[in-house]
Amino acid sequence: MPAKKPSLIGGALLIAGTVIGAGMFANPTATSGIWFIGSLAVLVYTWFSMLSGGLMILEVNTHYPYGSSFDTMVKDLLGKGWNIVNGLAVAFVLYLLTYAYIFVGGNLTAQAVGSLSASEQPLYVGQLLFTAVFAGCVWLSARLVDRVASVLLGGMIIAFLWATGGLLGSVQVPVLLDHTAPADAAYWIYIAAALPVCLASFGFHGNVSSLLKYFQHDAPKVAKALWLGTLIALAIYVLWQLAVQGNLPRSAFAPVIAADGDVGVLIENLAKYVQVGAMGKILSFFAYMAIASSFLGVTLGLFDYLADMFKFADDFAGRTKTAAITFLPPLLLCLWLPTGFVTAIGYVGLAAAVWTSIVPAMMLYKARKKFGTSDNYRVYGGVWLMVWVFVFGVVNIAAQLLSQWGWVPVFKG
């Protein structure tokens, strides 16, 4: 019997699960300076720009053989120099995220195993167990990743609505629109802090080639999955902004900002204005599923990128070799240096802007000159869209650097 074709919903949920990580908890804090209306504008701007960058990668990818990924495309279109720059940016972001997810997911797994066994478990037990289970899914097949990610995202949506239902029902428009702010209150001067965090909240570009391979080069179907998956993520982000910034006044955000957006501190301060009930425990379930889902999506993209780079076959031996170089380096580094990612993770947005915006725009320009119009798929827009996405990447790099160097205003509540 012929193999069942992958479903559009499954692909969309894989993208949504990759995009919605535990990092979404940072969004209300990062956007507290520009507040709700500003955060909506930045989220929609970022969503459109990141989606467009992903669709550019998709169009370019249709000109290359089955299984081709960034390494093949960038080397052919932009040359070895850009391929090295892009390769370093891709490896930095995807390996660092894998490392961070193993650390956080492993910690939560160790706590869960400890509570079930009534004995405290060391961190490395949780890290090994978390990696073995979810890395095993990626090693086995993209179809299994699709199924597991769909279950995880379903659980995430239920947990999210359960946790925030009360908050959404108690949103106060004066709080949401910051009516009590002084007449001279500034908002847009704080946009530089918001942009890189929102960019990092819409990362899925490492999965475009994986989805095209999974959907057997049905590019229009992949495009629909990217649209639907990113729109699901955008809807959840907007609801989360609404739930938090519609109940906790902007003037009361100082303790949350001081704690770098810690969820526990956020809930503690929300409790002063609205009933939160078991929100903390439910959000911990949400966070675990978000971490696991993002781990699957990120590492599937890294897995296929490395397979393309090293030309490993898509058989048992080839997938085993690819899995080894995908998962062993971040796992071993996490076991040896469990919190080493804290300093580097601040630069994820900067590196991600290179291969999610700047390189896709340049590749599409070169691909249309070299190949002409793709018969399989053509992204909307012309040169104006390439310029838009390229500038989006440059603006985010500038915002990241200015924020890191302390050259832009910082909202402190």
- The residues spanned by each domain of the chain are 8-405
- Per the rule left: phi > 0, alpha: psi between -120 and 50, beta: everything else, 316 is alpha
Compute the half-sphere exposure of residue 3: CA atoms within 13 Å on the CB side of its CA.
7
**Residue 295 and residue 134 in contact, taking contact as beta carbons nearer than 8 Å:** yes
Distance (Å, whole) CA 162 – CA 113: 24
Retrieve residue 164's tokens: 């925030």
DSSP tag of 5: P
Q: Residue-wise pLDDT tens for the chain (413 aa)?
A: 345 678 899 999 999 999 997 678 889 999 999 999 999 999 999 999 999 999 999 999 999 998 888 899 999 999 999 999 999 999 999 998 899 889 888 888 988 888 887 788 888 899 999 999 999 999 998 889 989 998 999 999 999 999 888 889 899 999 999 998 888 889 999 999 899 999 989 999 999 999 999 998 999 999 999 999 999 999 999 999 999 999 999 999 999 999 888 788 888 999 999 888 888 888 888 888 989 999 999 999 999 999 999 999 989 999 999 999 999 999 998 888 776 655 566 678 889 999 999 999 999 999 999 998 778 899 999 999 999 999 999 999 999 999 888 899 989 87
Q: What is the DSSP string of 210-253?
A: HHHHHTTT-HHHHHHHHHHHHHHHHHHHHHHHHHHHTTS-GGG-
HSE toward the beta carbon, residue 248, CA cutoff 13 A: 26
8-405 belongs to CATH 1.10.10.10: no
Kindly report whether the global pTM for this prediction surpasses the value 0.85: yes
Q: Confirm if 142 and 300 have CB atoms less than 8 A apart.
A: yes
User: Of 84, 68, 53, 48, which Cα lies nearest the Cα of 361?
Assistant: 53
DSSP 39: H
